[in-house]
Structure 1
Amino acid sequence: MYLDVVDLRDFYAQPLGRVAAQFINQRIHEHWPNVNGLSILGLGYTPPYIRSMRDRAERTLALMPARQGAVYWPSTGASLTALVEDDLLPLPDSCMDRIIITHLLEMVDNPADHLREIWRVLTPGGRLLIVVPNRRGVWARLEQSPFAYGRPFSRGQLTHLLRDTMFTPVKWSEALYFGPFKGRSPLGSAKAWEKVGGRFWPAFSGVLIVEATKLMRQGLLAPEGSRVTSGFRPIFLPAPNLPFKLEPDDKG
């Protein structure tokens, strides 16, 4: 089950969404303090998390699942967004240095298929960063945020999933210890909750963040017909600020 892209965009336009993105971005920066000259790919709904990387990275792309829909991003200038089949990326092998996933793995039926495709396009020595809802956290239980939709993960489940798809977890972090409650008072104390929660009850964070590297012992066999030919290129959104939804049976 995918959330509509308009719901995701609207959440991050609200105070609760902006505060959530702020604390998650702090953790992302701790994982990747330097992205100068690198190729960055965001999968799922990632503009709130890759926006700050644009000026330093060599190139930045935001690929959004067809069943979710897409919005034009950034709001000015050339489009960096494209609609894709998220388990069949229109990219050549080993072309991206860093890949970040948000609002994707918890929504799909078979996360392993998507991670195998991500393995294909990630460079040797490249890094993958995954942000998913923590099944122990309150954010996975209250529907005020998109982190309550889909299937939350435990650290053990995510570790097994990564190892089964030839990734090795190298660093973990957590974020969102305050509750997903709207209102000035809860958001005003969010910073204090982040400090206290990270120290005393890290297992109950709202999201889990894991950085993984690509194993190179052997290649992963791609399903028949899944190889991307050199002539196939993503089609970027043509007009700014016009969100739209692509129906599942509409391939045009």
Structure 2
Amino acid sequence: MQTRPSLPVPSDAAGFYASRRGEQVTSLLMSRLLPLLPDPKGFRVLGLGYAAPVLSQWRALSQAQWVASARLDTPLTRRQGIPSVAGHDWPGCVVAADALPFDDLSIDLVVLMHGLELVDPHPLLRMVWKLLSDHGRLVLVVPNRTGLAAKDDTLPFGHGSPFSTGQLDRVLQRALFRAEACSTALSAPPGLLSLGEQAGFMGDRLFSLLGRRLGGVHLVTACKDLYSGMPVEAERASLNFARRVTTLAGSAKT
């Protein structure tokens, strides 16, 4: 019986997205991500982790005020892709997860892909919270621990530590982000892509009906939770003590 040759494991994200299979995965991601993306007109947009492939297919991004790409300094994401994959001549750099070289409140939208699963998520999200403007948005593409994409190491999403639905919700809450919209992508078995892009689209749409817990990757739009640490009203003392006024012995004499 003749067996199908196994797919090569990509050395990094740049190599994967330069391949035909990488282009198919990017198209599938964008088909599910577009409904969650805000209107970028006049926005300052940062692609973080390794987000250039999806940003290059976002046509409305041409209306943004400023766009840049910051690749995290990990073995999977630090190498720059070829220009034909990036699609645009955006400024780019390699950054450490706990030291992003951007001013506080300077970015309106961060698209983070191939990030949370590769580094300690808490310092990274803290840095993102600081650089986002008060009305800023964070768009996350994160592998799902219970999905198929995280179990396939021929995909970049099969590397690092994926997140379950509950884990991702708790990480965002701890970092003072509030999820506004959620969806999934790459829910179908990755092998469907070998049957063609149309089969991949149809399979992904059908399998996504099974719910977020079985999706291949989490797609989440979140905003800064500016008031999560503030009490709704002034706290009152639980015990009511009568007020007592005392004086020093010496001060009572005139």
Normalising by structure 2, what TM-score? 0.77
Match of 1:10 among 12, 15, 26: 15
One-letter code of the match for 1:19?
Q
1:129–1:212 Cα contact (<8 Å) kept:
yes
Alignment of 1:35-74 (within 5 A): 35-51=40-56, 52=58, 53-68=60-75, 69-71=78-80, 74=83
Equivalent-residue separation in structure 1 for 2:206 and 2:81 (angstroms): 38
Displacement, 1:183? Answer: 6.3
Larger radius of gyration: 2
Alpha carbons of structure 1 residues 16 and 40: separation in structure 2 relative to 1, 3 Å? same
Match of 2:110 among 94, 99, 102: 99
One-letter code of the match for 1:36?
K
Displacement, 1:126? Answer: 0.8
Alpha carbons of structure 1 residues 28 and 200: separation in structure 2 relative to 1, 3 Å? closer
The structure whose RCO (Cα within 8 Å, separation 6+) is larger is 1
One-letter code of the match for 1:147?
F
2:15–2:81 Cα contact (<8 Å) kept:
no
One-letter code of the match for 2:189?
G
Equivalent-residue separation in structure 2 for 1:97 and 1:214 (angstroms): 11
Alpha carbons of structure 1 residues 77 and 190: separation in structure 2 relative to 1, 3 Å? closer
Equivalent-residue separation in structure 2 for 1:28 and 1:107 (angstroms): 21
Segments of 4+ moved more than 4 angstroms: 72-79
Displacement, 1:182? Answer: 7.6
Displacement, 1:70? Answer: 3.4
Displacement, 1:203? Answer: 2.6
1:12–1:48 Cα contact (<8 Å) kept:
yes
Question: What are structure 1's unaligned runs of at least 5 residues?
Answer: 220-252
Alignment of 1:87-126 (within 5 A): 87-108=98-119, 110-126=120-136
1:144–1:181 Cα contact (<8 Å) kept:
no
Alignment of 1:79-228 (within 5 A): 79-108=90-119, 110-181=120-191, 184-185=194-195, 187-217=197-227
Alpha carbons of structure 1 residues 122 and 174: separation in structure 2 relative to 1, 3 Å? same
Indicate the percent of aligned positions where both proteins have the same amino acid.
29
Displacement, 1:192? Answer: 1.5
Alpha carbons of structure 1 residues 67 and 148: separation in structure 2 relative to 1, 3 Å? closer
Equivalent-residue separation in structure 1 for 2:22 and 2:16 (angstroms): 5
Displacement, 1:31? Answer: 1.0
Question: What are structure 2's unaligned runs of at least 5 residues?
Answer: 1-9, 230-254
Alpha carbons of structure 1 residues 183 and 42: separation in structure 2 relative to 1, 3 Å? closer
TM-align CA RMSD: 2.3
Kindly provide the CA deviation profile for residues 36-56 of structure 1, in whole angstroms up to 9, marking residues without a partner as x: 110101111111111225412
